[in-house]
Amino acid sequence: MTQTPIRIATFNVSMDASNYLPEGTKPSANSADVLLDQLQRGDNAQISNIAAIIQTVRPDIVLLNEFDYTANPEHSVKWFQDNYLARPQQGAEAIEYPYFYSASVNTGVAFPFDLNGDGKVSTPADTYGFGYYPGQYGMLLLSRYPIDTAAVRSFQRFKWKDLPGALEPRNLEGSPYYSPEAWDEFRLSSKSHWDIPVKIEDKTLHLLASHPTPPVFDGPEDRNGKRNHDEVRLWVDYISAEANYLYDDSGATGGLSPDSSFVIVGDLNASPHEGDGHKDAIKALLHHPRVTDPNPGSAGGVEARSDNPHSRHHTAVWGMRADYVLPSSDLVVAESGVFWPAQNEPKAALVADRRTSSDHLLVWVDVIF
């Protein structure tokens, strides 16, 4: 067992094109390189603040949600590292991540059928995951430790219908919301689900990363609410002895071995207490016998909503616990927190509002492995 705690974090950084276009301008199919431009220039205030938060908390491994995936992820990661993380931001020290993992996601990828019934196939509505261009709202894992890239498992193409007991969206009168052809093709992951093995000394730690769809922005069929539930449930099954049905993008089947150590990371867009989503899956995950829930908190969350009994554990400025770092129960949790300083604390200006950095906060947990 390592004696020095390893800090693992998740952070929805809101680094997609919509954040950098003129106010009121919607992204388009031509917006895929907008983030690349901001990273190459190196002078974007929001990205500088994101880097300052990472430099302040200094996680050893961090998953970034809503970091656009491009055709050349090596360029975006290099420019983010060289022009932001490698330069001291807001008085913090530079930080380096020698290893990273990023891959394609379902957002913005055209679906072969008309999903919203308007008679045409177009973005963002008719895509495997809501997005104006492929790679919008992507994911990026940065690590100080080597990543076993060849052993990564991705479930990007796993079909929703193949999840036993899938919550298929239905219209009010009970008919299926999606056509049989569409349902047969529909993927479960709105972005992707990744099992990323990280080598720490002579051991392997599996980072289980995802970003389920928000359980809103739909109608009475509750397609997003049901999809969010089932995206979270995939991890419940993956760490249980109930995943024989699962197949990854390489064709391998089954879930995680019972003796594997893991940490579930990501913006799960689900809370056991608040929000409009189904709560069964997130409750099952938080109370799973193989999971430890550190339930990290912050002074800023309490200050923002002092009348809310759950506010200490909020991870989004709009008032909900949405982002999680959940270690397996064989790991020792040393400390945890949400980077949300109270207004009179240092660095509070970094999270002043959603345009300053993000509408989510960085969540971290120290584990002894």
CATH 3.40.50.720 fits 6-368, yes or no: no
Mean pLDDT of the chain: 96
What is the CA 332 to chain-centroid distance, rounded?
23
Determine whether 157 is exposed, middle or buried from the number of CB atoms within 10 Å of its CB (0-12, 13-18, 19+).
Answer: middle
User: Region 126-149: what's the mean pLDDT?
Assistant: 98
Which residues share a beta bridge with 337? 364
The mean pLDDT of 191-208, rounded to a whole number, is 97
What angle in degrees, to the nearest 10, is found between the helix axes of 34-41 and 73-80? 30
Give the per-residue pLDDT at 162: 98
Query: What is the model's pLDDT at position 353?
Result: 85
118-123: average pLDDT: 89
Nearest to 209 by CA among 191, 195, 188: 195
pLDDT at residue 117 in the model: 81
Round to whole Å and give the CA distance between 111 and 182.
9
pTM over 0.95: yes
Check residue 72 and give its pLDDT.
86
- Average pLDDT for 20-47: 94
Residue 11 CA to chain centroid, in angstroms? 8
Q: Please give the radius of gyration of the chain, using alpha carbons only, rounded to the nearest integer.
A: 20
Stretch 140-148: mean pLDDT? 98
Question: Which pLDDT does position 2 carry in this prediction?
Answer: 60
Q: For residue 175, report the phi and psi dihedrals to the nearest 5 degrees.
A: -75, 155
Q: Residue 1 has what pLDDT?
A: 60
What is the model's pLDDT at position 349? 95
pLDDT band of residue 71 (cuts 50, 70, 90) is confident
| pLDDT at 94 exceeding the cut of 70 | yes
Confidence at residue 352, expressed as pLDDT on a 0 to 100 scale: 86
CA neighbor of 143 nearest in space, from 204, 70, 87, 83: 204
Mean pLDDT, residues 336-361 taken together: 94
122 Cβ contact partners less than 8 Å away, ≥ 6 residues apart: none
Percent of the chain with pLDDT over 70: 99
Comparing C-alpha atoms, which of 343, 325, 345 is closest to residue 335? 325
Domain ranges in the chain are 6-368
